[in-house]
Amino acid sequence: MVVNAAVHYACLAMMDLAIHGADGAPVRSAEIIRRNEIPGPYLAQILRTLKSAGWVKAIRGSQGGYQLIVQPDAITLLDIAETIGCHDSISPAQDDEPSAQAALKKHWRAADEQSRIQLSRVRLGDVIRSVQESDEPMFYI
C-alpha cells in the first residue's frame, strides 16, 4: 500500500479537528490549512470525502467550520487510507509474466499486507495522544 499525500493530509486534518475542536467549537478550514500546511483546494476535497464518510460535519455561518463527529479511538489509519482512496500499488501477477516479476510481486504483496496490518492497529486517537505527550513541556529541577 502506498500512503499518498491525500491520506497524509486527511489524517492531519482529522487530528487537527480532534485536538482543536475538543471543546465542541467548529474549526475553520483556514486554521487547519495554516497549522498543517495543507493546500486549500486539497483540504476542501478531503473534507468533502470525510463528510461523506460520516466522520466530519460542516457547520455553515460566521461561526461555522468543521467538527469531527467520530471518536478518534473508533477509527484506524487504515480506515482513513481506504476511505480517501489509498489502494494496492501492485497489480496481480499475470499467468504469462516472467518468473522474476511474479516472484517480486509476491514480496511486494507481502509488504503491502504487512503495512495494512500495521495501519489497522493504529487508531487516530493513538497518534493524537503521542502528539500531545510530545508537546508537553519538560520540567527540570
Q: Is 56 helix (H, G, I), strand (E, B) or coil?
A: strand
Question: Would you state the pLDDT for residue 91?
Answer: 63
Q: How many helices (H) and strands (E) does the chain have?
A: 6, 2
pLDDT digits (tens, 9 = 90+) for 89-126: 566 666 677 888 888 888 888 888 999 999 999 999 99
- Does the pLDDT value for residue 53 go beyond 90? yes
Which range, 35-39, 82-86, 88-92, is most confident? Answer: 35-39
- Does the pLDDT value for residue 58 go beyond 60? yes
Residue 15, phi-psi category: left (phi > 0), alpha (psi -120 to 50), beta (remainder):
alpha
pLDDT digits (tens, 9 = 90+) for 121-140: 999 999 999 988 887 665 55
Q: Are 81 and 6 in contact (CB under 8 A)?
A: no
Q: How far is CA 83 from CA 15, 25, 31, 59, 94, in A?
A: 16, 25, 23, 22, 28
